[in-house]
Chains A and B, each alone.
Chain A
């Protein structure tokens, strides 16, 4: 087990290192941020001064070296546009994104598992077919299109829910959250639902497939033969075994939720870090883009690592095959 842990951690570290190289040099190769900060009539001296002030006059290797040294101290440079620390800008926005992603994950699990069980227990019924049809829609509709439709129906036509922003935030142990106030919750519903839709479909399909498979297993037939009540068979015997793959998928897909929140945040003007990334790409704000990409890559790698480990703890068969690889 420790060998497996070590090799997975090592692999994760290599991925993060390669990403930092790629992102840094890639960003270095494009655009000229100096051009954005000096006025077009500026003379050579002023351009040189700005370049030096931004540290862009040194060789690339030196810039990368000091970038890594600083990055390890949690300093990823200053935003060209905002003039403040890039990592600070992102961390400031992180709670909003995490809140959105967690709310979306909550919705997909709390709705997805019961719906998947229902569809798995009654595959031929009208409800079962509707649930599966809906999950196909959830898979193929682009997130941003669903977001637009949600705004059009619930905000513009029905005036039930607000279309944008985060609403009032309340400090909970130093974290600004929307979810604790009614008004904040009303702002959260549409973006969270929008972000949840894809994962919801995934969990519905996984649960349905797992349920159908479990129903044919000997232990379920034995439980039936013993005369156990149907409810106990479904919620104890079937559900327990269905949950193993779902736990892993929930873990793995959390990274995807963070990435897709870029789209949802842009539509609903949710003040998270995804919106910041898009603005920074367009404004060529190099340090913020680098800091965002590195932070999200790091989060995805760590989440995947944890999900892998959780899976190997839940299912011993995986641990054995993983250790030999």
Chain B
């Protein structure tokens, strides 16, 4: 490991909670990537489902006695553990793709706005401010109402709800960084604008972007789950955790808690661990707290 990385690792390990959260997060990502190989069944292959096994409580054996449903089954006799692993995969994928697109847009707008200044900056930031003055869930609902439902459209709604955070953050950092000597030096050398922006300015803005990004991934996942729970999110063919929770909701009132509870727990642990990791990153990368 390079010295920078090992210094980073040492600083990160100072908080036990953050270390645990990072380990949990790593396990979640691995589990969601490996879902098709580690899940006991493919929960969306109808041939593998047995209706006789519907709504079994956690720990029950299947009718044929060939398997144990550790987290119970849902109304179609689907193993909840498998459904959660697949749902996690969908939630994480959608959350991450939306964040990456939003970051890309945020970088473009923030760099241009902060570096160019003037009327373009005023216009872009006014748009961002107006967008931020609306609650994220309202922005997402407007987009869903406009575009209709589907995976791509949910991602578009999440991007629309979040790009402004990145743009605002990046612009703030760019305004500070562009006053620094290394930018003046790059200008004096008459480096092309693209290389000043992308190779000199952007790398120095990364810490702030990473912190905001880490926090926003969690809220992207939560927002997607909310939309899916409301029935206006991802299609039934790609159930995310939110949809699993919604499906179990009606059974919760009759005491069959596990159909909703375990997907909810998975969502909760995911969001909490991302937030804890993000908090630790913020403490480490915040220039005001950093002692070099």
Question: Measuring CB to CB, which residues of chain A are less than 8 angstroms from any residue of chain B?
Answer: 15, 22-23, 26-27, 29-31, 136, 139-145, 148-149, 151-152, 155-156, 163, 252, 255-256, 259-260, 262-263, 266-267, 277-278, 281-282, 289, 293, 296-297, 300-301, 304
Contact = CB atoms under 8 A, between A and B. Distances in A.
A144 B245 contact: yes
B146 A142 contact: no
A263 B134 contact: no
A277 B137 CA distance: 13
B225 A140 contact: no
Interface of A is mostly: helix
B252 A259 contact: no
A26 B145 contact: yes
B207 interface: no
B222 interface: yes
Contacts of A256: 135, 138
Interface of B: 130, 133-135, 137-138, 141-142, 144-148, 218, 222, 225-226, 229-232, 242, 245, 249, 252-253, 255, 257, 260-261, 264, 267-268, 271-272, 275
A259 B137 contact: yes
A212 B226 CA distance: 35
Contacts of A26: 142, 145-147
A262 B230 contact: yes
Contacts of B133: 252, 300-301, 304
B252 A140 contact: no
Contact of A148 (B147, B252, B275): B252
22 contacts: A22-B142, A23-B145, A26-B147, A30-B146, A30-B147, A31-B148, A140-B271, A142-B268, A142-B271, A144-B242, A145-B264, A145-B268, A148-B260, A149-B264, A152-B257, A255-B138, A260-B135, A263-B137, A293-B142, A297-B134, A297-B142, A300-B138
A304 B144 CA distance: 24
A66 to B, nearest CB: 20
A278 B257 CA distance: 25
A30 B148 contact: yes
Contacts of B257: 152, 156
A155 B252 CA distance: 10
A27 B146 contact: yes
A141 B268 contact: yes
B137 A281 contact: no
Given A148-B249, A262-B141, A140 B146 contact: no
A144 B252 CA distance: 14
A143 B135 contact: no
A265 to B, nearest CB: 10
Contact of B144 (A148, A163, A281, A297): A281
